[in-house]
Structure 1
Amino acid sequence: MSADGNERRRRVLLGLSVAVGLALFVIGVRFIVVPQSAARLFGLAGGAASFELHYVIGLRDLWLALTVIGLAVFREWRGLALWLGLGAAVCVGDGAIAASSSARAAPIAFHLASGVLCALLAVACWREARRPSA
């Protein structure tokens, strides 16, 4: 592949990785600002009286979002592959939690699709890490 093709591929991977981070960042902000609505959209049933756990989830999502954005900006392909690969497993787990909590199809599908996206991006980033630098 030409140098232009390699750079284009890297830009696409970079853009998709940053997009994953931005999506997670928005989810984190929602859990902090409107926790009940975020939990419902996530696929969790019933409302808790207090939202401390939601705030913890929101802060975790912000931290993870900034981590993946940082890895992408610095083009740390192996780090991105690891983050996205583990993220794929977490997404599947979140889908299982949503299924056992509310069993609503949309949140379950969102989590499973997110898991597939993360897995595909993890493989692409791993392949990029193994390519010789041009």
Structure 2
Amino acid sequence: MTVKIYANAFDPWQEIQSYQNTLIGGHFGATNVFIGTMRDFNDGDDVKSMTLEHYPGMTEKKLADILIAAGQQWQIIDALIVHRVGTIMPNEPIVLIAVWTAHRGDAFDACRYVIEALKSTAPFWKKEVLTTAQERWVTKNTDGYNAH
């Protein structure tokens, strides 16, 4: 299980292909993938960019702990988290989670667990720059669903 933090843009599909080919081979039956991208809106405002900060060392450890916890609950063959830091523009990938298992149920459930744990416990801090040039720190994450 692997955690990567990048300060520059990454191609999530290339990350998956490379990891899958070099580390896992063909020894899996299911792959579940989550890719989170930066939206150009939040809390009713248009967002121009975002700066994502982290605590080096602590962040990677927390993400690794999340993968270990997932592996204790589901039969995971392997898993990958790739996360951006630094300045991020709309439509750029922020996070990639890939989980490889023998069967789809474990893959879906483990992937969902990993993103929810990451969003609620990983030490990342977001500052948005609005199209009005105003800056603000994001104080809470969404619950992952569109407000009704």
- Give the alignment's TM-score, normalised by structure 2: 0.27
In proportion to residue count, which structure has more helix? 1
